[in-house]
Structure 1
Amino acid sequence: MAKKSIQPKIKEPVRLRSKKLADGSESLYLDIYRDGRRSYEFLKLYIHPETGPQIKTLNSETMKAANTIKMERILEITHNEAGLKHTSSRAKMLLKDWMQTYYEDMERKGARCLRLLKSTVRLLGEYNDKVAMREVDRAFCTGFMRFLQYDYKTRWGKPLTPKSASDYAGYLSSALNAAVRAGVIGENPFMQLTPKERIQVPESKREFLTVDEIKSLIATDCPREDVKRAYLFACFCGLRFGDVARMKWGDLVLDGGQWRVTVVMQKTTTPIYQPLSESAMSWLPERGDASSGDAVFGTLPALARINLMLKVWAKEAGVTKHISFHTSRHSFATMMLTLGADLYTTSKLLGHSNVKTTQIYAKIVDSKKVEAVNLLDKAFG
């Protein structure tokens, strides 16, 4: 009788495990072993004590979902090992080395996010400074976000705010996008994440100035005239600080009697051909003998210093709102909608790729309309 051949058991690179929680339920997670390194991905899926047929069915569906994710991760790993994604030998370089390369490139380009980018590099080093580019996968990205949200503490012993944690994760994602463009990796694993898997940032109050408040600022001296001009120009065109600061005289074009500015938006790299109103043009400084390559507003102070000046200026003008340079953009958006511009047009003026982003301002305007109508109740109540 022939002996049966014994097939070696293949060890799965991804295993589905569970962690017992205090309420009796179990949190499902993936135990991922790859290239001699172990990482974990918590799925935010839970198995509950079976107290009836409905819970039993729910648990069954949850396990199906978890196993589907598990198989997706196994396929990702096997594809990577087969060379279907990481075709560049540079994928072997360490993430920290790529981040340094990316930082130096942004520094050469004069980016204004260098301080936060440098902090991102430091935080990545604290999380894992040995990971190679080819090992930066979905699990690594979700792990880094958990580290930012729950493990890291500032020098004052406090956790990061959701906004700060989200910003740092965003800088990593931007660096990975650059790595894709450079052919270092095949894709950015952040692109695989659903919105719910990303860091949730509570919607912040969008402070904006009314027409009367802008008039008060116009009538009040600012600590620096160039800052006043740049800020009010932004109030009337909606450009972000980075785009205003980089704007050159050669970017301004007179087209059929209408002034326009050609800008590649720094945040989104989206090119826009923005019409400028007379109100916006009136806040540009005299050009004098400046060349087309000179910055319109010269060398403005750092944004943090400008925001301090704006607080002083607002206080002198009797404006009690907490304003920053970005308030000018919010003010432009709400003015456009209040004055009757439609949502789609306002979206294009702001350079939004999705009209849903602009709808936030529409909600603000609607709430102000409700407040205005309710004034009738006070008048005749």
Structure 2
Amino acid sequence: MKISLKRKKLKNDRESLFIEFYNGSTVNENGKRKHNRTFEYLDLYIDNGKSDRKTKITNKENLELAENILSIRRSEHVQGKYNIANTRKKNTNFLDYYNKLKEDRYESKGNYDNWDAAGLHLARFCPVHYTFDQIDAEFVRGFRRYLDKTALTKSKTLLSQNTKHTYFNKFKACLRRAFEDNYLETDIRKAAKSFEMAESNREYLTLEEVQTLAQTPCKYERLKCAFLASCLSGLRWSDIDKMRWAEVREEGERYRINFRQKKTGGMEYLPISKQTRELMGQRRGNADRVFKGLKYGATLNAELLKWCMRGGITKHITFHSARHTNALILLSKGADIYTVSKRLGHRELRTTEIYAKIIDTKMQEAAELIPELEINL
């Protein structure tokens, strides 16, 4: 393999420094040659557009650093070729490596948040000085025991089954990547079994309960409008909260919202009812928030529960319950599960099927309400 330092011309007379790993070429059956190249971009640049002293010094330092990295990569190649232990990688700090992988996921908000939360527990369990040389099968089993028996939430309660499942899987994803990158000599992920996923309890309101809330006074009118709009549309709190008037389209007698889901990043085109549009209020500037004045927190959650209690509803309702409510209302009214899945923006149909199971349970309960007849034949 040939390992070389290369430059790529950019705009404004700048060059990006990168390393090319050239592993020869092959010729396919059509006689076309394909070169086998991979690249490592160093985030180092040469500025040819300026000639001041500071720029010259920076250019020199960046070039020297790039050449040092080149020497390291060539050395690593020789170590791998002759099975020489790579002590640099073994001495890499484990938590630093985990945090780097976490930051690589910053653009994927939901995934990043899970990596971040799992990392907080990992930092509490793992000594700050630990390197990969100290990460072994017992460490994996120990972290699983920590999540299962010791780790606490902000409310000082043990982690839920699904939270343990999520956090441990992020930890194992880090170990898998470390093995692939040769920081670990063996794949130690199987040293401990993953946590099983528990079927989560989806609290929801019936159509009659939604109607009751619609008639019940709420201290914060925008909260009432936003919650009812979520019941009617299935929108998440995160999408209700960030919604701007530019996303709300009025096409004659039809209304829809064109928006990018905050959780998944997917683009959605969601038709909404006339009443959902009315709950949004008077249109303002395109950049203005639709439900201006809402702020998620303890005050909002407390008022939501008080509002429910005023309506005689004793369920533990959160804002996300409105989304569950929408799914169950649609299914109970005969909407097919594929359409409901698309409206909710689910990536997998099995996520929506959980609601169908709840509908089946309620139908069975309804069947059992039918009294027995005294029959003479």
1:327 aligns with 2:321: yes
1:369/1:158 CA distance change after superposition, 3 Å: closer
How far 1:266 sits from its partner (Å)? 2.3
Kept in 2, the 8 Å contact 1:240–1:326? The answer is yes
Max Rg structure: 2
Distance 1:202 1:112, change over 3 A: closer
Match of 2:122 among 121, 124, 127: 124
Secondary structure at the residue paired with 1:253? Answer: strand
User: Is the 2:140–2:189 Cα contact (8 Å) retained in structure 1?
Assistant: no
TM-score by length of 2: 0.61
Q: 1:265 to 1:380 in 2, by over 3 A?
A: farther
| Letter matched to residue 159 of structure 2 | L
The answer to whether 1:150 aligns with 2:144 is: no
SS where residue 272 of structure 1 aligns? Answer: strand
Pick aligned residue for 2:366 from 346, 368, 372: 372
| Corresponding residue number in structure 2 for 1:362 | 356
CA change 1:235–1:357 in 2 (3 A) is same
Query: What residue in structure 2 maps to residue 277 of structure 1?
Result: 273
Q: Secondary structure of 2:317's match?
A: coil
The question of 1:166 aligning with 2:172 is answered: no
- Conserved in 1, the CA contact under 8 Å of 2:161 and 2:195? yes
Separation in structure 1 between the aligned mates of residue 279 and residue 152 of structure 2, nearest angstrom:
44
Q: State whether residues 237 and 332 of structure 1, in contact with CA within 8 Å, keep that contact through their aligned partners in structure 2.
A: yes
The residue aligned with 2:67 is none
For residues 355 and 290 of structure 2, the distance between their equivalents in structure 1, rounded to whole angstroms, comes to 29
Q: For 1:377, what is the secondary structure of its paired residue? A: coil
Q: Distance in 1 between matches of 2:100 and 2:299?
A: 28
For 1:162, the aligned partner's letter is Q
> What SS is found at the alignment partner of 2:259?
strand
User: 1:249 and 2:245 equivalent?
Assistant: yes
Q: Return the offset for 1:313.
A: 0.3
**What is the alpha-carbon distance in structure 1 between the residues aligned to residue 307 and residue 326 of structure 2?**
19
Q: CA deviation at 1:307?
A: 2.0
- CA separation of 1:158 and 1:309: change in aligned 2, threshold 3 A: closer
> Does 2:341 match 1:347?
yes
Specify the alignment match of 1:222 in structure 2: 218
Structure 1: runs of 5 or more not aligned? 1-78, 84-88
1:122 maps to a residue whose letter is L
SS of match in other structure, 2:326: helix
CA drift of 1:272 comes to: 1.7
Aligned equivalents of 2:330, 2:206: Cα separation in 1: 11
- Which residue in the other structure is 1:263 paired with? 259
Given the two structures, how large is their TM-score scaled by the length of structure 1?
Answer: 0.60
2:90, 2:263 → 1: CA distance? 26
Q: In the TM superposition, what are the counterparts of 1:290-301 in structure 2 within 5 Å?
A: 290=285, 292-301=286-295
Alpha-carbon distance in structure 2 between the residues aligned to 1:135 and 1:346: 49
Equivalent pair of 1:306/1:325 in contact (CA under 8 Å): no
Query: What do the CA deviations read for 1:291-326 (whole angstroms, capped 9, x no partner)?
Result: x22221124222443222111000001112111111
> 1:286: Cα distance to partner?
1.9
Deviation at 1:96, TM superposition (A): 3.7
Partner of 2:268: helix, strand, or coil? Answer: strand
Distance in 1, matches of 2:248 and 2:154, equals: 45
Over the matched positions of the two proteins, sequence identity in percent amounts to 30
Write the distance in 1 (CA, Å) between the matches of 2:306 and 2:261: 29
CA shift for structure 1 position 338: 0.4
Cα distance in 1 for partners of 2:341, 2:223 equals 26
Q: Provide the secondary structure at the position in 2 that maps to 1:376.
A: coil
Q: Deviations over 1:13-44 (max 9, x none)?
A: xxxxxxxxxxxxxxxxxxxxxxxxxxxxxxxx
Contact 1:207 1:322 in 2 (8 A): yes
Quote the Cα distance in structure 2 between the aligned partners of 1:264 and 1:246.
10
Q: In the alignment, what sits opposite 1:68?
A: none
> 2-side partners of 1:300 and 1:380: how far apart?
57
Listed one character per residue, the Cα deviations across residues 80-131 of structure 1 (whole Å, up to 9, x for unaligned) are x859xxxxx9998645446667888999x89799998765433111222345
2:330 pairs, out of 325, 336, 349, with: 336
Contact residue 110 and residue 263 of structure 2 kept, 8 A: no
Pairwise CA distance, 1:132? 6.2
> Are 1:222 and 1:313, in contact at CA under 8 Å, matched by a contact in 2?
yes
For this pair of structures, how many residues does the alignment match?
285
Q: Which of 303, 306, 309 pairs up with 1:309?
A: 303
Q: Deviations over 1:168-192 (max 9, x none)?
A: 4467689x6xxx9xxxx879x9xx9
- Note the residue ranges of structure 2 that are not aligned, 5 or more in a row: 1-76, 82-87
Give the secondary structure class of the aligned counterpart of 2:256. strand
Root-mean-square deviation over aligned CA pairs:
4.5
Go from structure 1 to structure 2 and tell me whether the alpha carbon gap of 1:159 and 1:321 turns closer, same or farther (over 3 Å shift): closer
- What CA distance in whole angstroms lies between the structure 2 residues aligned with 1:136 and 1:326? 39
**C-alpha distance 352-115 of structure 1, shift in aligned 2 (>3 A):** closer
Q: Residue type of the partner of 1:234?
A: S
Answer with 209-218 or 197-206: which moved more. Answer: 197-206
Distance (Å, rounded) in 2 between the aligned partners of 1:332 and 1:203: 19
- Could you give the per-residue CA deviations for residues 172-223 of structure 1, whole angstroms, max 9, x where no partner exists? 689x6xxx9xxxx879x9xx989x9432243233221111100111111112
